[in-house]
């Protein structure tokens, strides 16, 4: 991993973003929610490094606090997706038969719906919030994990070490938890790393449409949405959050590719 320059750059970038998210109250120069109409739409300056928005709020401070929201949604939504996908994939792969057929038809049915329309339909029925967005992204993104883990379990359960454990009287629960899942975790780890970037993009798209994190809570997506209105006179409102989203998603993809290459050699 240390010899992979791209993975190293991605990991270091994410480490910096994590520090920014944790230290947001101490490094933010202004209150991200403070309204100052006399300073509305000011261009970048020494006082406001990335300018201000329509309400005179400091864009730099809002981006710093938005890092918290984006990373939180990315990690927790992928955590939900991995948990559900791991449970479905492990049960389908290990038991097979009618349970495998039923679970895989459920996966196929979920995959048949365009994800963005499924997200919009669910969010239209509930009140948009940070927790709603995390749950919806997680519960509509587990299918890939389930199919990937099922394929791994189908291959592993016929290996000699699993047959030996079964011959020694190991229960199905022990076989899955102690023998199968630990040996199938590598592709899930790569999938989860890449999935965080996708979750951040999804949250940004929903917030851009006004269905994600609701103002005044700052997120990169709703800062983009607010900047769309003043695009002709305040370019910094769209360029700054756009670069944050691009950099973060790229960093996760670089790290995921690095982990994939490392695991393929071990």
Complete DSSP assignment for 163-191: HHHHHTT--HHHIIIIIIHHHHHHHHHHH
| Domain chopping of the chain, boundaries | 72-264
How many whole angstroms separate alpha carbon 73 and alpha carbon 195? 11
How many whole angstroms separate alpha carbon 109 and alpha carbon 27? 46
13-50 residue pLDDT tens: 999 999 999 999 999 988 898 888 888 888 898 889 99
Is the domain spanning 72-264 CATH 1.10.3720.10? The answer is yes
Count Cβ atoms within 10 A of the Cβ of residue 208 and give its class: 0-12 exposed, 13-18 middle, 19 or more buried. buried
At 1, the pLDDT band (50, 70, 90 cuts) reads low
DSSP 58: B
pTM (2 d.p.): 0.84
Count Cβ atoms within 10 A of the Cβ of residue 160 and give its class: 0-12 exposed, 13-18 middle, 19 or more buried. exposed
Q: What is the mean pLDDT of residues 95-107?
A: 90
């Amino acid at each position: 991993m240390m010899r992979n320059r791209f993975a190293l750059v991605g990991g270091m970038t994410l480490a910096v973003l994590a520090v920014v998210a944790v230290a947001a109250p101490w490094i933010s120069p202004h209150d991200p929610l403070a309204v100052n109409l006399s300073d509305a739409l000011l261009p970048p300056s020494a006082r406001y490094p990335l300018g201000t928005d329509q309400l005179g709020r400091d864009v730099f401070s809002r981006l710093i606090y938005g890092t918290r929201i984006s990373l939180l949604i990315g990690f927790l939504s992928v955590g939900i997706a991995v948990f559900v996908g791991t449970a479905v994939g492990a049960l389908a792969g290990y038991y097979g038969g009618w349970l495998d057929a039923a679970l895989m038809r459920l996966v196929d049915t979920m995959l048949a719906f365009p994800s963005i329309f499924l997200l919009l339909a669910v969010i239209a029925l509930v009140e948009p919030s940070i927790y709603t967005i995390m749950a919806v992204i997680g519960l509509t993104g587990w299918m890939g994990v389930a199919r990937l883990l099922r394929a791994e379990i189908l291959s592993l359960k016929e290996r000699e070490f699993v047959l030996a454990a079964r011959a020694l009287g190991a229960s199905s629960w022990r076989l899955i938890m102690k023998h199968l899942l630990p040996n199938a975790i590598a592709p899930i780890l790569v999938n989860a790393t890449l999935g965080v970037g996708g979750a951040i993009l999804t949250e940004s798209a929903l917030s851009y449409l006004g269905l994600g994190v609701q103002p005044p809570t700052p997120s990169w997506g709703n800062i983009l949405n607010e900047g769309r209105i003043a695009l002709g006179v305040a370019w910094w409102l769209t360029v700054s959050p756009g670069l944050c989203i691009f950099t973060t998603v790229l960093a996760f993809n670089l790290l995921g590719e690095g982990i994939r290459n490392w695991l393929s050699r071990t």
